[in-house]
């Protein structure tokens, strides 16, 4: 059942999600997005430009985070705006040959604001990896019945 504006309150917890990311995921995302920047696949290059190692694509991180909102809303088209600031990279360790994820992104969502006139709710996301916020001011505006 899709949420309605009337059943929401500011501060209400909307859930959380743990997203595991591997270097294979980075390769798949690069193919889908066309972003083959070597910071997303070449350890020597990434460290050579001052990064802690290979990092996840910012848009991959952003898209993975907002998926929590689209699943909650029950309709991706209900998200009419999504904005964020990238604050820290998401290093993805090389775990080739192991079942481990190279990085974990933790996302939680809460109602930040309700606008009855517009029929929208602002959902505030907290996005953390390795104990650090990797997205700041991550906010989705969702149109609800």
The CATH number of whichever domain residue 134 belongs to comes to 3.10.129.10
DSSP labels for 33-94? H----GGGT-HHHHHHTT-SS-B--HHHHHHHHHHHHHHHHT-GGGEEEEEEEE-S--B---
- Domain span at residue 130? 5-21+57-143
Total number of domains constituting the chain: 1
Tell me the pLDDT of the chain (145 aa) as tens digits: 899 999 999 999 999 999 999 999 999 999 999 999 999 999 999 999 999 999 999 999 999 999 999 999 999 999 999 999 999 999 999 998 888 889 999 999 999 999 999 999 999 999 999 999 999 999 999 999 8
The reply to whether 47 falls in a domain is: no
> Does residue 35 belong to any structural domain of this protein?
no
Query: Token pair of 90, please?
Result: 């998401």
* Pick from 137, 144, 125: nearest CA to 3: 144
Structure pTM?
0.93
């Amino acid at each position: 059942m899709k949420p309605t504006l009337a059943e929401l309150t500011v501060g209400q917890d909307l859930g959380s999600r743990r997203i595991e990311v591997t270097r294979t995921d980075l390769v798949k995302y690069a193919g889908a997005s066309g972003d083959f920047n070597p910071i997303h696949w070449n350890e020597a290059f990434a460290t050579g430009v001052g990064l802690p190692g290979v990092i996840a694509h910012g848009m991959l991180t952003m898209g993975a985070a907002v998926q929590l909102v689209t699943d909650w809303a029950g309709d991706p088209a209900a998200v009419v705006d999504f904005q964020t600031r990238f604050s820290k990279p998401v290093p993805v360790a090389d775990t080739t040959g192991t079942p481990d994820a190279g990085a974990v992104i933790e996302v939680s969502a809460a109602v930040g604001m309700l606008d009855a006139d517009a029929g929208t709710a602002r959902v505030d996301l907290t996005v953390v990896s390795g104990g650090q916020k990797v997205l700041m001011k991550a906010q989705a505006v969702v149109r609800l019945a």
